[in-house]
Amino acid sequence: MEIVASYVPRPGADPREEVASPPRGATMVEIRADLLGDGADWQALVAACPLPAIVTLRSSAEGGQGPVDPAARRAFLTAAARSRAAFVDLEGERDAACLGEVVPAERAILSLHFTDGVPAELERRAAALFARPCRFVKVVAAVQRLTDVAAVVRLAVGCERGNAGQRRGIVFGTGNAGRVTRLLGPLLAAPLAYAAWGEDRAAAVGQYTPAALTALVGHLRGRPRRLFGVVGRGVGSSLSPQMHAAAYRAVGLPYLFAPLEVEEEGELDALVQPAGEGLFDQLGLPTGGFAMTMPWKGEAARRCTLLAPRAERAAAVNTVLPRPGKVLGDCTDIDGISRVLLESGLELAGARVVVVGSGGSARAATVALMLAGAEPLVVARDGGTAQRMARTLGARAVAPEETFGAVAVVNATPAGKDGEPSALLEGLRLGAGAVAVDLVYGTRPTLLELLARQRNWNYVGGREVLLYQGASQFAAMCGVAPPLRAMAAALGLEEVAA
């Protein structure tokens, strides 16, 4: 698979020096002339690039900053065709007259970008481009929901099955919901993926870096045998795909684990279906299971036809397993929480442990503690919600200031993920030596981690919980023993990987 790193200038940096050192993992570079600014010497960048280059002048009509004027575009494309660029991007609705006449067909990428969403006539308009002689056809649409994802993937599947084996279609969606299409597109259609120059230098929302793409799909050659995914809101930052991909690579499974952005509860109906009946099954991509995350753990549990006893008790699932004629649900969060608390050296029987939150993750944490013989104390922003949850599970709801004497706390909310203040967490009154467990994780220290440093608590991060719940989840989904060291390494937990 070719990975095209789209160059986005950094203020104050020398573009020529940067282009001369492409990101690791990239095999091609896209020079976005429309992003370089007036008077920039894009030809010098093409000359400085050690990798094959694609030259693009994305117009303002298709999400870029370039001109729409035909004369200006023709002049640019003429210069691009005379440059050392391997390929030149032509917009199908503006530059078609230049195809063959100005830019040779074998060097042309004929593109079409739908910035306002997926049109009903997506396949028809794509077919018009495929009818033209060119090296690649690039079709990109802004994706917001699962129905949009389905339309884009359907087009990619059509590219895989058509074109007499010539995979010319570069097909994907933009936006956070489009991430799954950026992974499936190069596996189904043309084996070419556009990537970000760096973590903070994406040319479009949802772009992966070359390293991330390699980690997620580098073990695959063509379409995955099974598709898995993490389902929730804001799942673009989830580390579950990297963790599961590392496990697939370690044991030799040709599977894909992708982020599936679901904003509305009703969208779950298309996913939580018996084997062979779900959204992706209908597109020819057999679904193996889903990892459910916030805020859909309770809603997913209600859609399962058979729940593990612990998941039924928690009324929450984080693991959905489609089977013929039914859908199984389990809650491996319980394994992750129990494991990290036991490894911290706590004797849980009879111990008071605080659970912060009142959602599906908090219910899972409460059940995990009760199964271990502990006494959970529920603390939530809404006292009434905390009381109802505690009463349902047989626990006790308390105020933050009533937590003195507890030996541990489990934060089952997004509060403090990026270190931002939280009166709920700051109001806890655990003594020195207590264990503080986060279910969330981020790129910066969480608030609970900062509090643990200040108050002499023993901190356990969300990545460790993710590892152990993920190991149980992997076993349930794949039926083989989890490669724990490979999964730990993917999460940056070197002490576990060792």
- Complete DSSP assignment for 139-207: EEEE--SHHHHHHHHHHHHHHHH-GGG---EEEEEESGGGHHHHHHHHHHSSSEEEEESSTT--SSTTP
Pair (210, 322) in one structural domain: no
- Structurally, the chain folds into a number of domains equal to 3
Pair (397, 425) in one structural domain: yes
CA distance 177 to 276: 23
Return all residues near 97 (Cβ < 8 A) that are at least 6 apart: 70, 74
**Helix count (H) and strand count (E) of the chain?**
18, 20
Query: Over 70: is that where the pLDDT of 115 sits?
Result: yes
CA distance 245 to 80: 39
Select from 160, 187, 222 the last residue of a domain.
Answer: 222
How many other C-beta atoms are found inside a 10 Å radius of the C-beta of residue 485? 14
Pair (409, 432) in one structural domain: yes
299 falls within a domain? yes
Query: Over 90: is that where the pLDDT of 253 sits?
Result: yes
Q: State residue 165's pLDDT score.
A: 47
Write the CATH number for 299.
3.40.50.10860
pTM comes to 0.95
Q: State residue 164's pLDDT score.
A: 46
Its domain, for residue 152, covers: 2-222
Query: Over 90: is that where the pLDDT of 440 sits?
Result: yes
Instruction: Say if residue 285 is exposed, middle or buried (CB neighbours under 10 Å; 0-12, 13-18, 19+).
Output: buried
228 falls within a domain? no
Query: Over 80: is that where the pLDDT of 495 sits?
Result: no
**Tokens read off for 285:** 């991509």
123 falls within a domain? yes
pLDDT band at 496 (very low <50, low <70, confident <90, very high): confident
CA distance 300 to 137: 38
What is the mean pLDDT of the segment spanning 318-347?
A: 97
Q: Which helix (H) or strand (E) holds 355?
A: strand 352-356
Cα distances from 229 to residues 222, 273, 399, 473, in angstroms, run 18, 14, 37, 12
Pair (10, 68) in one structural domain: yes
Pair (34, 159) in one structural domain: yes
Q: State residue 163's pLDDT score.
A: 53
Pair (43, 85) in one structural domain: yes
261 falls within a domain? yes
What is the mean pLDDT of the segment spanning 267-275?
A: 98
CA distance 256 to 42: 37
- 87 three-state secondary structure: strand
**Tokens read off for 437:** 């467990």
CA distance 426 to 123: 54
Crossing angle for the helix pair 462-478 and 240-251, to the nearest 10 degrees: 50
Query: Over 90: is that where the pLDDT of 344 sits?
Result: yes
CA distance 80 to 77: 5
CA distance 62 to 287: 34
Task: Kindly report, residue by residue over 141-197, the tens digit of the pLDDT.
Answer: 999 999 999 999 999 999 877 654 457 999 999 999 999 999 999 999 999 999 999
Write the CATH number for 117.
3.20.20.70
Query: Over 60: is that where the pLDDT of 71 sits?
Result: yes
Query: Over 70: is that where the pLDDT of 498 sits?
Result: no
Select from 195, 222, 249 the last residue of a domain.
Answer: 222
Q: State residue 270's pLDDT score.
A: 98
Instruction: Say if residue 11 is exposed, middle or buried (CB neighbours under 10 Å; 0-12, 13-18, 19+).
Output: exposed
Name the percent of the chain lying above pLDDT 70: 99
Tell which wins on pLDDT, 67 or 442: 67
Select from 175, 192, 222 the last residue of a domain.
Answer: 222
111 falls within a domain? yes
What is the mean pLDDT of the segment spanning 256-264?
A: 98
Q: Which helix (H) or strand (E) holds 367?
A: helix 360-371
Pair (315, 435) in one structural domain: no
172 falls within a domain? yes
Pair (217, 88) in one structural domain: yes
Q: Mind spelling out the 3-state secondary structure of 252-306?
A: CCCEEEEEEECCCHHHHHHCCCCCCCCCCHHHCCCEEEEEECCCCHHHHHHHCCE
Task: Kindly report, residue by residue over 34-70, the tens digit of the pLDDT.
Answer: 999 888 899 999 999 999 999 999 999 999 999 999 9
Write the CATH number for 372.
3.40.50.720
227 falls within a domain? no
CA distance 132 to 110: 9
Pair (83, 179) in one structural domain: yes
Pair (313, 342) in one structural domain: no
Cα dihedral 473, 345, 437, 466, rounded to 10, equals -20
Cα R_g (the chain), whole angstroms: 25
Query: Over 80: is that where the pLDDT of 497 sits?
Result: no
Pair (342, 323) in one structural domain: no
Tokens 């772009």 — which residue? 207
What is the mean pLDDT of the segment spanning 455-476?
A: 98
230 falls within a domain? no
Pair (267, 379) in one structural domain: no
Cα distances from 416 to residues 116, 183, 429, in angstroms, run 34, 31, 17
Average pLDDT, the chain: 96
Q: Is residue 297 annotated as a catalytic residue, yes or no? A: yes
